[in-house]
Amino acid sequence: MIHGLHLPHLSAYDPPVAGEGTLYPLGMFTLAEGLADELAPWITARMWRIRFVTAIAVAARALDTLRDEVAEDGVTPPYLVFEWILAEALAAQRDFPREATIRVPGIEKARAARVRGRHLDALSYLKTPKVFGFQGIYKRLAIGMRVVDRDLGLLERGDQLLRAWEREQGVTGYADGRPHSEGRRLLDAITREVSVGLGPEGITLPAKSYVWSRLASTLRPDGAGPQERALLTQWLMDPSQPLQREFVLGIREIDQTLSETAAIEAISGQASPAMARMLEAVLTYERLARLLHTGLDVLRRASTAAGTKPIHLGELAGEPLLMALVRLLPGAYVGAAEALELVGRGASFEADFGRFRDMNDPVVLAEELLARHRDVQQAKPPAGKRPWFEDIDGAFVVRPPYRLDQPPALTEDFVHPYRVGAVQEFLRDLR
């Protein structure tokens, strides 16, 4: 070691925790996600463009002979190389309107690579591609629809979808690999280019590539033909999932510009008994979640306004918004507890949030919010996250990334997503 040079070391101020944990600081997401899974088990809030189910089927057919291959880097599977090629194909289309490629996973990475005159690879693509690439996002839906199996192998419905797609996109012969057909030409080209992409040089497609041109024109996210749209719509509302079917149908019948809160309130008025119970659980749980998260925002704002001066809990005794929350919390808690009990979630709710049942003191509310937040952060994997607040001799100071410059206000907005937005976007692309 060079004299006078010391390697970095951990100190009390720099604890060994990974990341900051900026989402869901009160740990209310798990229960909300469970409710959302009941409403729409095949859909997630990250989904926007349902046509990626068709893209998964296209990839499954082309990559069948490459399924057991791995790229030269030892980790990249063939389906990710297909994602790189499709993302580049869509990024290269300057004549597409913005709405055609919005929310395409990896497209900004592809555009950045084009500016540098390079192709996508494992280093320049998404940080966690098996989760945030389009097959990572839409695999759940494609499996639910029985388009592919869990290994991304094509199923009977997938073949049916491909045949509708190839007829409408002018690539007949793709599904069965019919010799001398346009579909066979595209099939062979995709397989060949993915195979090359697995090698040491990666993707080598020229600027004006047949594969790019054909993939962009046939898999444009807003470009499904009527037969393809009919199949995707039918399977999205599969009778095997009655709640999801009713959920999608309900959203289809209302104003597509409604917020998540307004949409769920609107469809609850015409819901079946089972759906009505689930939606009431969502509405009451989100009401409580909004009250508690607003309370945490009050603490953030109070500390921000005080600068570096620590806030003692007693100073919050007369805080108007905290006092209003204390008046609203008991009724909100009871409403959520009763509704969640009816859908089998009462025990987990009580275990996690029972401390807020009989809340009648602003100072106690502030104390319990800080305690709950600290417990949630410490429990986050893999080794815990730092709380948003520093504890200084019984007082607290909000850390700089979580300062709140504007006074908080109590709104009707949901804290958590319930997949309304995803369904609304699906329906736009399926019109």
Q: Report, as an integer, the average pLDDT of 391-395.
A: 92
Q: How far apart are CA 361 and CA 355, in angstroms?
A: 13
Q: Is 430 exposed, middle or buried (0-12, 13-18, 19+ CB in 10 A)?
A: middle
- In this predicted model, what pLDDT tens digit does every residue of 156-205 receive, in sequence order? 999 999 999 999 999 999 999 999 999 999 999 999 999 999 999 999 98
What is the band of 3 on the pLDDT scale with cuts at 50, 70, 90? very low
Give the number of other CB atoms < 10 A from CB of residue 309. 12
- pLDDT for the residue numbered 19: 53
The mean of the pLDDT values for the chain is 93
Give the number of other CB atoms < 10 A from CB of residue 297. 19
Nearest to 111 by CA among 128, 92, 126: 92
Q: Report, as an integer, the average pLDDT of 325-342.
A: 97
Q: How far apart are CA 194 and CA 84, in angstroms?
A: 9
Q: Report, as an integer, the average pLDDT of 304-325.
A: 96
- In this predicted model, what pLDDT tens digit does every residue of 356-370 receive, in sequence order? 999 999 999 999 999
Nearest to 303 by CA among 370, 231, 258: 370
- pLDDT for the residue numbered 224: 98
SS3 217: helix
Strand boundaries in 280-384, DSSP class E: 311-312
Give the tokens for residue 70: 């791995």
Q: Report, as an integer, the average pLDDT of 39-47.
A: 97
* The dihedral sign for the CA sequence 306, 309, 311, 312: negative
- pLDDT for the residue numbered 206: 86
pLDDT above 70 for 27: yes
22 DSSP β-pair partners: none
Q: How far apart are CA 250 and CA 274, in angstroms?
A: 14
- pLDDT for the residue numbered 20: 62
pLDDT above 70 for 13: no
What is the band of 207 on the pLDDT scale with cuts at 50, 70, 90? confident
Give the tokens for residue 322: 């905290």
pLDDT above 60 for 5: no
Contact 329, 285 (CB under 8 A): no
Residues of the chain with pLDDT > 90: what percent?
Answer: 90
- pLDDT for the residue numbered 1: 33
Q: How far apart are CA 323 and CA 330, in angstroms?
A: 12
- pLDDT for the residue numbered 23: 78
The single-letter DSSP state of residue 66 is G
What is the band of 22 on the pLDDT scale with cuts at 50, 70, 90? low
